[in-house]
Amino acid sequence: MSRLSDIAIRLEGAIPLAAVPERRGGLGGGVAAILTELAARLERLSEDGSTALIDLRSLPMSATDRDELLDALGQGEVTATLDAQGTSTLRETAFAGIWWTVHRDRDNAITSELLEVSLVPQILAADPDDISPAAAALRRRIGAAVAAPHPSATSTA
């Protein structure tokens, strides 16, 4: 199989096919397949919290496919921009739980483009290994603040 449209899929009826854009791009019926997969993944997220990623750069998407997918998913209420070794843009789609994420390097070239099905994009979550050291650092800061004289407590008389 060399094309996404060659893969047999089972439509779960979550998205009426009349609502899916007409096929025009390199994915053939792949845009409808992606939307159907996203609907199934949203249902799983709702039921048991399972998250999922679709790497759009791994698919044979044309510019038309990308535009159709953007149009079908629409714009949500939240957009976040991160600056860490390049810029990342995390944009909620019109469907709560589906995030369109684009990571760019320092030269502004796209390094990855993902659809993430999750409550919040994973890149925004704190690393669990960093939580305990953060608590200790905050305790040290509290201790230092308590030990230091408050600026209003000193007089210049």
pLDDT in tens, 68-87: 999 999 999 999 999 988 99
The CATH superfamily label for domain 4-122 reads HupH hydrogenase expression protein, C-terminal domain (3.30.1370.140)
CB neighbour list of residue 86: distance below 8 Å, 6 or more residues apart: 103, 104, 105, 106, 108, 111
Give mean pLDDT, residues 97-108: 96
Note the pTM of the prediction, 2 decimals. 0.70
pLDDT tens by residue, 140-151: 999 888 877 766
Task: Name the pLDDT band for 133 (thresholds 50, 70, 90).
Answer: very high
Q: What residue ranges do the domains of the chain occupy?
A: 4-122
Tell me what pLDDT residue 155 has: 55
Q: Residue 92: is its pLDDT beyond 70?
A: yes
- CA 141, 146, 148, 149 dihedral sign is positive
Higher pLDDT, 39 or 146: 39
Q: How far apart are CA 117 and CA 53, in angstroms?
A: 6
Other C-beta atoms closer than 10 Å to the C-beta of 72 total 19
Please give the order of strands across the beta sheet that includes 87-92: 52-55, 110-117, 98-104, 87-92, 79-83
